[in-house]
Amino acid sequence: QNVANQIAAGEVVQRPASIVKELLENSIDAGAMSITLKVLDGGQTLIQVIDDGIGMDAEDAVKSFLRHATSKIRTADDLYNLHTFGFRGEALASISSVSEVEMRTRRAGDMVGVQVNINGGSVPQVTEVSTAKGTNIVIKNIFFNTPARRKFLKSVQQENKHIMYEFERVALVNPDVEFQLIIDNRAPLKYAPSNLHQRIVMLTNKTLGNKLLPIEANSPIVRISGYIAEPSASKKKLGEQYFFVNGRFMRNPYLAKAVEQGFGKLLPQETYPSFFIYIEVEPSRVDVNIHPTKSEVKFEEEAAIFQIISSAIRQTLGKHNILPAIDF
Ligand code: ADP
Ligand code: MG
C-alpha cells in the first residue's frame, strides 16, 4: 500500500508547490473563507495550511489519508473539478507517504478536535486535541524517505516561485476568500476578501492597476468572463496570462493566440497581452486525458471557442474606444 502511495506521489507530488496546490484546493473544497499558507525553505522544511472550513471528524480525518477511501463525487460541482480529476482521493495519501504530516481538524459542532500524525506512510497516530474550527495541516521534510527525489528539488528561490504561482492561481479563482501567505520569516502578505477586479490588482502588485477591461461572452457551448489589460499596460514582453477552466488554472497556448488575434494591431510589437480569462464549459466537452499536473486541457469545440474569445476581446476594445482606464 505504501509503495503504491509513493508511486502515486511521483505523479501528485512533483515539488513542494504541488503539495501547496492540493492543500489549498482541499481548503477551498471544505468551504473555507479564510486560508493561511506558511512555507519554510521553499516548502522543503515545512508547508502549513490553516483553514476555517468544515473540518473532519476523527473517522474522516484518518480516512482522508487512505488512498481512494474518499474518492467520490459528492456534488455536481465535483464534476467541474477537472484538475484533480485523475487524483480524486489520492493527494493526502500520496503526500503523507513522502513526508511527515501533522493534521489537526475540528468540525464546528464538535467539542474536541482530532490530531493525526503520519510519518512517511506510517500507521496514523490519532489523538484528541483542542483546536480551532477547520483544518490545520503541516507537511514537514518532503521526500525525507525518498532521497533520490529530494535531490531534484531546486533552490529555495525557485521553489518559492512555483509556490507563489500555485497560490496566485487559487487566489484568482476565489476572490471572496481571504488569504494570507507567510514565506519564511517575511512579513505576511494579506489578501482581503474582495471582488475579482480588486483581487487581480492586489495579486499583480498593482502593475496592471485599473487598466483592466472586463470581457464577457455567452454562447451555448461556452461562457467567457474576466479581464484583459490595456495593451499599453503590458510593458513586459511576457504578459500575465491566465486561463481558468471551470475554476482551475489551465495553460492554453492555442487560446492565448485567440487573445492576441483579438487585440490585433492594438498590441505593440513584441508585446504579449495580459489577461485573466475564465472559461466555463460543460465538463464532458473538455478532454482531461492530458496529464493533470501539466494543467492542460483540450476543448471539443476548440475552434469555436477561439473565435468567441477573440471576438469578445474586439468587442471590449471597441466598447472602450482607444481604451480609457475603467473606473470601478
Ligand atoms: P480529494 O480532495 O481528491 O478527495 P485528498 O487526498 O486531497 O483527496 O483529500 C481527501 C479527503 O480529505 C477529502 O475528500 C476531504 O474529505 C478531506 N479533506 C482534505 N483536506 C481537507 C480540509 N482542509 N478540510 C476538510 N476536509 C478535508
Ligand atoms: Mg484534494
Task: State the average pLDDT for the chain.
Answer: 86
* Domain's final residue, options 191, 224, 246: 191
Q: Check pLDDT > 90 for residue 267.
A: no
- Give how many domains the chain has, as a whole number: 2
> Which residue's CA lies nearest to atom 10 of ligand 1?
64
Pick the more confident residue, 9 or 13: 13
> Do residue 22 and residue 152 come from a single domain?
yes
pLDDT at 27: 97
Q: Check pLDDT > 60 for residue 40.
A: yes
> Do residue 200 and residue 301 come from a single domain?
yes
Residue holding cell 514582453?
A: 237
> Do residue 97 and residue 205 come from a single domain?
no
User: Are 135 and 108 spatial neighbours (Cβ–Cβ below 8 Å)?
Assistant: no
Query: Which ligand places an atom closest to the C-alpha of 71?
Result: 1
Specify if 325 maps to a domain: no
> Which residue's CA lies nearest to atom 21 of ligand 1?
26
> Do residue 175 and residue 54 come from a single domain?
yes
DSSP E strands, 26-99? 34-40, 46-51
Going from the Cα of 44 to the center of ligand 1, the distance in angstroms, rounded, reads 22
Q: Check pLDDT > 90 for residue 165.
A: yes
Specify if 326 maps to a domain: no
Q: Which structural domain, as residue segments, surrounds residue 143? A: 2-191
Q: What nine digits make up the cell of 80?
A: 467541474
> Do residue 162 and residue 209 come from a single domain?
no
Q: Check pLDDT > 50 for residue 126.
A: yes
Ligand 1 shell residues, CB under 6 Å? 22, 26-27, 29-30, 51, 53-56, 64, 70, 84, 87-93, 135
Q: What is the pTM of this model?
A: 0.88
Q: Check pLDDT > 50 for residue 77.
A: no
pLDDT at 80: 47
- For residue 223, give the CATH number of its domain: 3.30.230.10
Could you tell me how far CA 34 lies from the centroid of its own chain? 15
Coil/strand/helix, residue 88 = coil
Which residues sit with Cβ closer than 5 angstroms to ligand 2, an ion?
26, 91
> Do residue 63 and residue 135 come from a single domain?
yes
Going from the Cα of 26 to the center of ligand 1, the distance in angstroms, rounded, reads 5
Specify if 6 maps to a domain: yes
pLDDT at 175: 96
> Which of 5, 52, 64 is the pocket-test mutation for ligand 1 (most atoms within 8 Å of CB)?
64
> Which residue's CA lies nearest to atom 19 of ligand 1?
26
* Domain's final residue, options 157, 191, 225: 191
pLDDT at 84: 44
User: To which H or E segment does residue 281 belong?
Assistant: strand 275-281
Pick the more confident residue, 284 or 290: 284
- How far apart CA 195 and CA 109 sit, in angstroms, is 30
> Do residue 84 and residue 64 come from a single domain?
yes
Amino acid in position 310? S
* Ligand 1 atom nearest residue 134's Cα: 24
* Ligand 1 atom nearest residue 27's Cα: 23
Specify if 294 maps to a domain: yes
Section 151-167 average pLDDT: 94
pLDDT at 269: 74
Q: Which of 9-13, 19-23, 153-157 has the lowest mean pLDDT?
A: 9-13
* Domain's final residue, options 142, 174, 191: 191
> Which residue's CA lies nearest to atom 8 of ligand 1?
89
Query: Which ligand places an atom closest to the C-alpha of 28?
Result: 1
pLDDT at 290: 61
Specify if 70 maps to a domain: yes
Which band of pLDDT confidence, cut at 50, 70 and 90, is reported for residue 83?
A: very low
> Do residue 45 and residue 165 come from a single domain?
yes
> Do residue 37 and residue 135 come from a single domain?
yes
- For residue 28, give the CATH number of its domain: 3.30.565.10
Section 271-282 average pLDDT: 91
> Do residue 185 and residue 200 come from a single domain?
no
Task: Single out the residue of 269, 249, 66, 230 nearest to residue 162, CA to CA.
Answer: 249
Pick the more confident residue, 322 or 281: 281
Query: Which ligand places an atom closest to the C-alpha of 27?
Result: 1
pLDDT at 236: 55
Q: With the C-alpha atoms ordered 159, 162, 168, 170, is the resulting torsion angle positive or negative?
A: negative
> Do residue 108 and residue 164 come from a single domain?
yes
Which residue intervals of the chain are DSSP H helices?
2-12, 16-29, 58-63, 91-97, 147-150, 156-173, 196-203, 253-263, 302-319
pLDDT at 33: 98
186-210 pLDDT tens trace? 999 999 999 999 999 888 866 665 5
> Do residue 144 and residue 283 come from a single domain?
no
Specify if 327 maps to a domain: no
Which band of pLDDT confidence, cut at 50, 70 and 90, is reported for residue 261?
A: very high
Q: What nine digits make up the cell of 196?
A: 475579482
